[in-house]
Amino acid sequence: MTEKLSAAARDAVLTPLLENDWQLDGDRDALVKTFHFESFVDAFGWMTRAAIWAEKWNHHPEWLNVYNRVDVVLTTHDVGGLSSLDAKLARKLDTL
């Protein structure tokens, strides 16, 4: 069962991500980050790799691709805010 990140867990989980260019959208309790690539093909290839992990974990990003840029929003719709799954997916997106 996915649960919202507790107040106690938030700092430890979110601090490394915020230090790696993720930002908090406080209105939606979401993590947001823009990824830049050399080309559309690079961007779309990265999205394809990300999509495989998202499907494997049944946790899916909201994202917008414009040419070589991908704007990503991570939040957990089922709980109305951030869960550990968002942090897990954020860390994966940073490594792909």
Ligand X SMILES: C[C@H](O)[C@H](O)[C@H]1CNC2=NC(N)=NC(=O)C2=N1
Contacts with ligand X, residue ranges (CB under 6 A): 58-60, 76-78
Please give the Cα distance from 8 to 49 (Å, whole number).
Answer: 32
Please give the Cα distance from 22 to 94 (Å, whole number).
Answer: 10
Q: Which is nearer to ligand X, 41 or 52 (CB)?
A: 52
Q: Which is nearer to ligand X, 6 or 58 (CB)?
A: 58
Q: Which is nearer to ligand X, 69 or 77 (CB)?
A: 77
Q: Which of 82, 72, 91 is nearest to 30 (CA)?
A: 82
> Min. distance of Cβ 64 from ligand X in angstroms?
15
